[in-house]
Structure 1
Amino acid sequence: MNKIGFVISGFLVVLAILASTLFVVDQRQFGVLYSFGQIKEVITEPGLRWKLPQPFQNVVFLDRRILTLDSPETGALQTAEKKNLVVDWLLKWRISDPRQFIRTFSTATSLTAAENRLTSVVQDALKNEINSRTVRDILSTERDKVMSGVQKRLIEDAKNFGIEIVDVRIKRVDFPGSVTESVFQRMQSERRQVANELRSTGAAEAEKIRADADRQREVIVAEAYRDAQKIKGEGDAKAAALYSDAFGRDAQFAQFYRSLEAYKASFAKKSDVMVLDPSNDFFRTMRNGGSGGQGGSAAPAKK
């Protein structure tokens, strides 16, 4: 029994030793083979590999994919006119030389040191580029030049780190919160001033239009009244001529007609009352039986 257990234990030990000599390099990784703490080989091709068991040799894996680094929460950068800007950027990078990468950052198991170094380089490059330009340049005309300058410096420094810079982009350029609020208030004030000017101009134009319309109305009413009076005068003249012609043909009828008009004007309402002497000339026509004369047809009635 002890012999069988010894055999099994020996087999397990041999199996463990064999397992420690084999390793697999994934296509997404670099395999760095160490021998007594020194880099012996960098394996770039994926597949099954073998090595000496520890402590003679050991393997460390590095990510060979393109990695993304976002800008941290940092302070504002000053432009040429001493205005503060908050710049958010995005960096795409990957390990190109594992040996140099490990020599630069000491440890191959953590990317924190590399990201911190890259962040520092990007921030310094952005500071130099932004300090020499105005806000207008950064936001419009020279934004590409800013990124080209940052990328050029970053590529040069990254070579010393064993890193390849794939791309770097500015995601957002904005003013700090306090500045943004003041800019918004200033813009609001300017827009309010423009709106007031437009309202004043509109009110002046409205008054001008109303005054012109009133003037035209007065002119039109005056001309219409003039034309009406002219037509009325012509009509009255024609009527007077007709009346004169008619009355000239029969004076008695003319007197009778005028009396009727006088009665009509005097008794316009049923409630009108007039107190006069019956012998008054006003009732001459009634007394004469409508003849309208002094004697005329009334004389035969008295006989």
Structure 2
Amino acid sequence: VSEELEPGLHFKLPMINTVRKFDLRIQTMDSEAEGFLTENNQELVIDSFVKWRIRDIKQYIVAVAGRSDVAESRLAQQVNSSLRNEVGKRSISEVVAGDRAVIMNVVQKAIDEESSKFGVEVIDVRLKRVDYADKIRESVFLDMESERNVLVQQKESTGQKIAEEIRAKADATRVVTIADAERDSNIMRGEGDATATRIYAEAYGRDAEFYELYRSLEAYKQTFASEGDIMVIEPDSEFFKYFKQNSQ
């Protein structure tokens, strides 16, 4: 077996030399979906693929007779063995979500080291599908539903607690606001009454008779505010004092 030939003109001895062509491009090997057990002996169905290429043609011919099907068969065995080893160390959730990238990197390094022995380089290993086996799918979904229900109840409980706290604070603020408003209103009303009393007192001090006339007019206005108002009173009542004076 000679080294791979560079492009150009080469000579071949008939009946002695044989030319074989090998594809040095990156190739893809798809693995069949298989069941793998996790650390809790729960089964997952995993489907993967491998990107590989020929690294050393001499070694490739000697180890696998230059046949890609033999090379892929050995790769498939190594992938299967490495995956079983890595999945068996982890729980379902770690394999499905948490450690998926870690598993792919570990498997790639492991089989690349082994595949170099038969002249192959492993470029990449990917898990296409990681799914629950039929026999545990329903129980897993029930567990997920139960976890979600617990989470919903916790959220609702927290929300109700927060709502009650907000409502209590709002009620307390309302009571304080109303009390402050009533206090301010009473203060303003008292100040207004005091001012009115002072003004009345000053007016009375300046002209007592005019003040009495003004108060009587205000009383007449309030008493006969509507056209249908009727008041029964003695004609000589003090209430009609100024009416009598006008008639005189």
What is the TM-score with the length of structure 1 in the denominator? 0.60
Tell me which protein shows more helix as a share of its residues. Answer: 2
Give the equivalent residue in structure 1 for 2:109.
151
Q: Using the alignment, how far apart are the partners of 2:212 and 2:5 within structure 1?
A: 139
1:206 and 2:162 aligned: no
Give the equivalent residue in structure 1 for 2:90.
133
Does the CA-based 8 Å contact 1:121-1:154 persist in structure 2?
no
77-86 vs 148-157, which moves further: 148-157
Secondary structure class of the residue paired with 1:203 = helix
Q: Using the alignment, how far apart are the partners of 1:257 and 1:44 within structure 2?
A: 129
Quote the offset at 1:217 in angstroms: 1.2
Post-superposition Cα deviations, 1:231-267, rounded to whole Å, max 9, x if no partner, equal: 1342244245335534xx64x5555444433322321
What is the TM-score with the length of structure 2 in the denominator? 0.70
Equivalent position amino acid for 1:77 in 2 = F
Number of positions where the alignment pairs a residue of Structure 1 with one of Structure 2: 237
Q: Using the alignment, how far apart are the partners of 2:210 and 2:112 within structure 1?
A: 124
Secondary structure class of the residue paired with 1:226 = helix
Higher RCO structure (Cα 8 Å, ≥6 apart): 2
1:170 and 2:132 aligned: no
Unaligned runs of 5+ in 1: 1-40, 103-107, 291-297, 299-303
Give the equivalent residue in structure 2 for 1:271.
228
* Cα 1:234/1:257, change in 2 over 3 Å: closer
Larger Rg: 1
Equivalent position amino acid for 2:22 in 1 = D
Q: Using the alignment, how far apart are the partners of 1:58 and 1:208 within structure 2?
A: 96
Does the CA-based 8 Å contact 1:70-1:89 persist in structure 2?
yes
* Cα 1:226/1:256, change in 2 over 3 Å: closer
Give the equivalent residue in structure 2 for 1:29.
none
* RMSD (CA atoms): 3.9
Task: Please list every run of at least 4 consecutive aligned residues from structure 1 whose deviation after the TM superposition is greater than 6 angstroms.
Answer: none
Tell me the percent identity.
16
Q: 2:76 aligns with which of 97, 119, 123?
A: 119
Does the CA-based 8 Å contact 1:137-1:143 persist in structure 2?
no
116-125 vs 187-196, which moves further: 187-196
Equivalent position amino acid for 1:52 in 2 = P
* Cα 1:191/1:268, change in 2 over 3 Å: same
Q: Using the alignment, how far apart are the partners of 1:181 and 1:49 within structure 2?
A: 67
Q: Using the alignment, how far apart are the partners of 1:260 and 1:126 within structure 2?
A: 107
Unaligned runs of 5+ in 2: none
Give the equivalent residue in structure 2 for 1:227.
187
Q: 1:77 aligns with which of 8, 31, 36?
A: 36
* Cα 1:283/1:45, change in 2 over 3 Å: closer
* Cα 1:287/1:219, change in 2 over 3 Å: closer
Q: Using the alignment, how far apart are the partners of 1:264 and 1:216 within structure 2?
A: 40
Tell me which protein shows more strand as a share of its residues. Answer: 1
Q: Using the alignment, how far apart are the partners of 1:219 and 1:275 within structure 2?
A: 43
Secondary structure class of the residue paired with 1:288 = helix
Does the CA-based 8 Å contact 1:42-1:99 persist in structure 2?
no
Q: 1:52 aligns with which of 14, 20, 35?
A: 14
